């Protein structure tokens, strides 16, 4: 996998967590359990990609 693909996946996961957190409060109890599971899995993957991308350095701007 190319470096920019990992960066895109990392950003998509972060944005997805924000989206799930926004709908969490408005969800039924049954939906909340599933959403919490999805959020937790996202955080696991975010941590994985953060390590791979050395998140000490900001993500570089795309080269168009």
pTM score: 0.75
pLDDT in tens, 7-64: 899 999 999 999 999 999 899 999 999 999 999 999 999 999 888 887 555 555 555 4
pLDDT of residue 60: 59
CA 27 to chain centroid: 20
Distance between first and last Cα of the chain: 19
């Amino acid at each position: 996998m190319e470096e920019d693909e990992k960066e895109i996946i990392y950003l998509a996961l972060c944005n997805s967590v924000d989206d799930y957190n926004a709908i969490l409060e408005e969800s039924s109890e049954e939906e909340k359990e599933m959403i919490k599971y999805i959020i937790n899995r996202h955080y696991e993957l975010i941590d994985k990609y953060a390590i791979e991308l050395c998140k000490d350095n900001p993500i570089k701007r795309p080269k168009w």
